[in-house]
Amino acid sequence: MKKPIKIRATGLGHPEGPYELDDGRVIYANTYASEIGFWDPKTNTQGQYAFVGGGPNACMLGSDGAVYSTQTPNVGAWVAPVHRPPSIQKTLPDGKVEILVTEADGKKFDGPNDLTFGADGRLYFTDSGDWNPADKPHPGRIIVIEKNGVAKILEELDYVYPNGIVAEPDGSIVWVESYTLKVVRRKPDGTKTHLWTLPDGHIPDGFKIDVDGNFWITAVAGGGVDVIDTNGKFLHFVETGGTILNCCFGKGGKLFCCDMGPFDVTGAAMTGRLIEVDVGVEGMPLFRGAIG
């Protein structure tokens, strides 16, 4: 189905990982600008929420009022002008930015990508490394950060580029793999299930869960969002156009998507947009936690 879009923010560079705050503002990782940006629906204005340096890739609110974000210093050929180590960052309500953690089990991160708090209050994220589908330079990892700030490797993966990640109410973690096009669930006991493989050309990036437990998966080169149920059955495709990198649900049945515009991994084109699509479906309330 083709859905009309509303453009909410423009001139963005590789926008990723949006999140709707309690006051209605939508924050997002504006990677090539090394910042967390925002769009305010009350004033229909966009701006900088926080300068974090490096290349932020996703962000979300914690129960402590801080914004947690993934940090990777390069995307393809683009290298951040203000270097930050691959890490998880925390932006406090007063604007102070902290680097929380840079390694797990003695291994430094290659390139944290997407993140989510689980039902247990811990922070889970994908460590995907550099985007390079030809050479696949880094193996993937699923990492969890305990509430005390200690990071542990939950899963060592092959060279699959784990990307978007979500947490389910029963404690399961689900992620997508951009190189393999797979959707994978990990139950709390460690059992893994391959739920679905996206169609050719539908490289999965980010995704979220709706109130019925269905997964809304952004298809980078597919120009929209694939929707599957909790068991991996395909439901439908929402066509938005553009190069859709990640999404989040907003109040009132809205879906906010980060559209990169023309695909660019050099950092030269600041043609990304935040778009809004009325899908008539509410998102599952996201879990929150606090680290450190």
pLDDT tens-place string over residues 15-47: 999 999 999 999 999 999 999 999 999 999 999
Give the pLDDT mean for 235-256. Answer: 97
Global confidence as pTM: 0.96
Torsion of CA 38, 39, 45, 51, to 10 degrees: 10
**Residues 172 and 193 sit within 8 Å (Cβ to Cβ):** no
pLDDT band for position 287 (cuts 50, 70, 90): very high
pLDDT above 80 (res 263): no
Q: Which of 276, 274, 275, 272 is nearest to 33 (CA)?
A: 272
In this prediction, residues 239-247 reach a mean pLDDT of 96
DSSP character for 206?
A: E
Residues with Cβ within 8 Å of 288's Cβ and at least 6 positions away in sequence, in order, are 61, 62, 63, 117, 121
- 3-class secondary-structure state, position 55: coil
pLDDT over 80 at 225, yes or no: yes
Low-confidence winner among 1-5, 63-67, 235-239, 286-290 (lowest mean pLDDT): 1-5
- Measure the CA–CA gap between 267 and 200, rounded to whole angstroms: 26
CB 152 within 8 A of CB 139: no
- In tens, the pLDDT along 99-148 reads 999 999 999 999 999 999 999 999 999 999 998 999 999 999 999 999 99
Mean pLDDT of all residues belonging to the chain: 95
